[in-house]
Structure 1
């Protein structure tokens, strides 16, 4: 399996519901470093996994919609705890949609999986991986 990873970041504010979250029930900020790994079993005709420029742009576009937002005010997240794990799945779903829509070029149709990792600090991160 071949893989290619691109990286970006975004900043949000949010709070969590439930005693399990302790002080994180209060509004707080997070800056996530995001790694997205694109996977495919064989290289394309140009010996690429995916065009790095298109992959970086697609990730940037997905994150632009989340960056500098208070997720507590976002209707699409109403009733959800926007944990690192949950947000990794959100970024995955939005990127998967971009791949399916052709936003990463025709060669991206050979991608078989994505893995999205959100680093919430230098000691903690969460990932969501799935097939395309």
Structure 2
């Protein structure tokens, strides 16, 4: 299937810790800064000949990230009992963006989107992504 895509970028700074020996020293509280890319996909352009309104996509990504930015995720009830790995955070952000698409926050044209992919870049050499349909 051929898809068009538009990607917007922002960033977050969080603190968190992990449970489990696999995480080694990251079991202790530490900070992380993520560059976050949100990619919106669709098979055909909308009536305005776009994938999504880039301004609204940027605004809504910023709003979703604002719920996480400068927070200790260990203290957030939404993350109780889970390891907030890069992969898990990518899913949370994608799901929250999907909720905003369904609520109409990205405009009526965005209701025709086929999917969203969110990538969190931990550094210039490591990142993780989550992709979902809408």
| TM-score bracket, shorter-length normalisation | over 0.9
Unaligned runs of 5+ in 2: none
Aligned residue in 1 for 2:67: 65
Aligned residue in 2 for 1:90: 92
| TM-superposition CA deviations, 1:44-95 (whole Å, max 9, x none) | 1111000000000000000000000000000110110000000000001100
- RMSD of the TM alignment (CA)? 0.4
Runs of 4+ with deviation above 2 angstroms: none
Q: Using the alignment, how far apart are the partners of 2:108 and 2:127 within structure 1?
A: 31
Matched, 1:23 2:3: no
Q: Return the TM-score normalized by structure 1.
A: 0.99
Output aligned runs, 1:94-105, within 5 Å.
94-105=96-107
Unaligned runs of 5+ in 1: none
Q: Using the alignment, how far apart are the partners of 1:76 and 1:39 within structure 2?
A: 27
